[in-house]
Structure 1
Amino acid sequence: MILPIILVIVFVIVLIFARRNAPTRDCRWREDRTGDKGSLRKYHCVACGAEAYRSEGPPDRCLKGLDTPRL
C-alpha cells in the first residue's frame, strides 16, 4: 500500500527537476568577446544561432524566435 504512494512522489519529484531547465535545454550559449558593445557582452547560441547582448551572463532561455525587425 505504501509503495505506490512512494513511487508517485518520486515520479513527481523527477518531473519537477526535469522541467527546471526546459527553456534553455536546446541552447548552448558561448561568449563572443569580439562583438562586445561597451559593458554588454555578446553571446551566441551554437544550437539555434540566436545572438544576445547582456551584462550579467548568458541568457536563461532560448531567444530563437526574437529576431530583430527588418526595415
Structure 2
Amino acid sequence: MDKTCLLYLEENPQIARFVRYNPVWYRYLSREPSRISELPKEAKAFYGKTIPQRVERFSNQMQMVGMMLQFAGAMKD
C-alpha cells in the first residue's frame, strides 16, 4: 500500500477501523491509491452517519416515544 494511504489511515482511526472490517479496501488502495478519496463517504455509510440514516434513526426514536406515551396513557385509564 502507498505510504500516503498508510499515513492517512494512521491519522483517521475510524476510517482505518472501517478498512479493517472491509479488507477488500486494502486491495482497492494497493491497486488504486487515488480511491482514498472514496473512503470517508463509504465509512460514513458503514457507520450509519449519513443524513438519510440519521433522519431514519431519529424518526424511529420519535415513533418509539409516541408508542411509550400511548402506552402510559392507556395505563392511566
Same fold (TM > 0.5): no
Q: Whose helix proportion is higher, 1 or 2? A: 2
| TM-score, length basis structure 1 | 0.31
TM-score, reference length from structure 2: 0.30
